[in-house]
Structure 1
């Protein structure tokens, strides 16, 4: 049963911070950093996963090495904001190879779509074909991403 609201103790938080800082660490490395036996560390990690606190493990790739030389954030406003329109917009874009992330927003724009493409022509064609051609879209604005950094410090909300 998923319980993402359960209380986390100091060791759980240390395990999360260690994994967040370096997801490539082995269980043995994590156990050493938090001063636990590897079996205890593994048991805690599995519990954090089964409780929905660790939602998934992922990897990052160098998009340039794959041909994704341009990244952009595309802000999108929809004409209609009913659940079906919003859900359909997200579910139809997310499987596209260019799409890295979709952010459903409050405020002036309804979505930010983070994409990676090969070049400016690819970006233009993606925006025209995948976004502005949709009848539910009322406004699109594209901003180039020059650099993207990710924090490896676990947020502390206490």
Structure 2
């Protein structure tokens, strides 16, 4: 990957819907060369997908929470079973196994507090493998950027 590829990726991460001719102009390439590079980035697995981001408030999902979870059983089977149930949930936007005092960090995007209560009863306080969970509700968002 060279500096041109990096410019292509930076541009696509800001707006994946950009037309190839505009992308080529932005990075200083001929459209055919730009398209070839983009295809090569896909083939190499550097570009892994393309998404549409939505406005949570306009979608009726304006409550954001970050939940840190400690588990009783850290064995692969128990942890995988719990994570598999977790990732099936619409409200779970991100889930990470982490090091340190916490075993997992979960990002939730919720419609309201009732949804949080139901979900937390089922996935956290109602799960026998969950030792402890702590929830932080997002009050203000200062930066949201998915680009690497």
Q: TM-score, normalised by structure 2?
A: 0.90
1:117 pairs with 95, 104, 110, which one? 110
| Cα distance in 1 between the residues matched to 2:74 and 2:13 | 35
| Cα distance in 2 between the residues matched to 1:101 and 1:115 | 7
Residue 64 of structure 1 aligns to a residue whose secondary structure is coil
The match for 1:151 is 145
1:75 pairs with 68, 71, 85, which one? 68
Tell me the number of residue pairs that the alignment of Structure 1 and Structure 2 aligns.
147
1:40 pairs with 30, 33, 44, which one? 33
Moved over 6 A (4+): none
How far is the alpha carbon of 1:69 from its aligned partner?
2.2
How far is the alpha carbon of 1:28 from its aligned partner?
1.5
Gaps of at least 5 residues in structure 2 are none
The match for 1:49 is 42
How far is the alpha carbon of 1:87 from its aligned partner?
2.0
Q: In the alignment, is residue 62 of structure 1 matched against residue 55 of structure 2?
A: yes
Q: TM-score, normalised by structure 1?
A: 0.85
Gaps of at least 5 residues in structure 1 are 1-7
